[in-house]
Structure 1
Amino acid sequence: MKFSIGGALKLAFRPWVEGLENIPAEGPAILASNHLSFSDSFFLPAVLDRKVTFIAKAEYFTSPGVKGKLTAAFFKGVGQLPVDRSGARGAGEAAVRSGIEVIERGELFGIYPEGTRSPDGRLYRGKPGGLARVALATGAPVIPVAMIDTERIQPPGKVVPKLMSPGIRIGKPLDFSRYHGMDHDRFILRSVTDEVMYEIMKLSGQEYVDIYATAAKRQIADAEKAAKEAAKEAERAAKAAGGAERGGDR
């Protein structure tokens, strides 16, 4: 199923890719990518000859009905791995365990260090809990990946994608074996994560923002809410002023 989906994606969207030679022909590796669109997890595996396993929320695999079964089959077919994300700490531990299991099988593990999609196309601070812990616990190389223009193909909230060519840049593997076993040292985790994010920034050309994407989303949501409230208040004030003027004309 992976090859049929990948073939269809390549035929329809014709993604371009640089740095394929940096993906090992065999053996484990961690692919650490920026995250611009829901479709990132489909385009990256489509251009690779090897299977890439990403983690996805368990709800995609457990929804009832025919639609739920089709969704589950699709996500399994493209290499998504269900993880119960109920509870922030439990979600992080589950993601780390899943990543380690994939690496121990000698496979490719895909992860988005930002933890969620970018709300505005910029690159946000990486979370050290997943990527760095898996890398240091296993000694697997980390390969930085930059997705290009996928947010234009399928912006958040849009179901039907635009037919245009996204890009994928794959960087050289990063070796963190010198820190092997230090996966509980928060300073080392932060340092490893920041080094990977720097390489992703160079590959993607994105503006870097040194806050978490989840915090940025809250800020954006709060600003939108405040703008709506201000617009409503202005509308109420305008109506009140109009009523006062009509009252004065009597």
Structure 2
Amino acid sequence: MSNAGTEVPASPIIPNSVVLQWLETGKYSDFVVRCKDKVFNLHKSILASRSEYFRAAIDGGFRESSDGIMTIEETHPCALAAIVAFLYTGKKKISELIHLIISNSSNFPVRFSEQERMRVGNMTGFLDIYQLADLMMLSELKIAMQKEIGRFLFENHLNMFEYHVRLIYETLPETDGMARPQLTTAIVRDPALSFNRSLSGAANVEVEHILDIAREHDPVGVTQAMNLLASLRRDGHTPRHYRLQEVHYHYQELPAFEDDEDDDDMGFGLFD
């Protein structure tokens, strides 16, 4: 099944503000999704119209379609909450999703502990959402989360940079075609990370072993990126002049991206 799913646009008849009220109050709820100890009271019409994944479960003749109950165990409930918030509001900025899910002023119907709230706002939580968006074929949210992963890696918690690099490699499967290979290419292009002003010369940040980490976890990607860089340099280009989707892996090609109008940063600080 392709990861590049196509989201069904929200109905122009029912504003997102209205369906959000339905989510918050449980009004008209006719579909239950369970994830570990959390229960989400949702709406078939909203899920089926905005997600191919849920539409297949609801209309596919499976038990979920007759029982009106679906169980998702392969993720953290906070990640599922982010997916639900995205489907009901169309918001894809992680700051807005987090506010909707865990803010004390929010009426989100599923409540989370303090420990769970901490998870959703860190790298582990971002990777949870990224992988679930991939599983559910929500390509728009997946791309948005890839950007957030890159921003968090390079702009926050610099003393944990090497830990977060390892976490990305060890969490995402080798078949991941977006965040993982883009990280590899960023490291190969500039293992000293001097292209990123916030990291260059930062205290307590160990960057000399980053290329070795990339070789350990993504040897094929490192070789591909090095070959591409060498080719571009022979043609007189500088590393900042190429786009990451030119790097082809043995398992798939990186997708061509359409940048958001309000955000040209692809997340790993690789573009001028």
With normalisation by structure 1, the TM-score equals: 0.29
* Greater gyration radius: 1
Structure having greater relative contact order (Cα 8 Å, sep ≥ 6): 1
Bigger strand fraction: 1
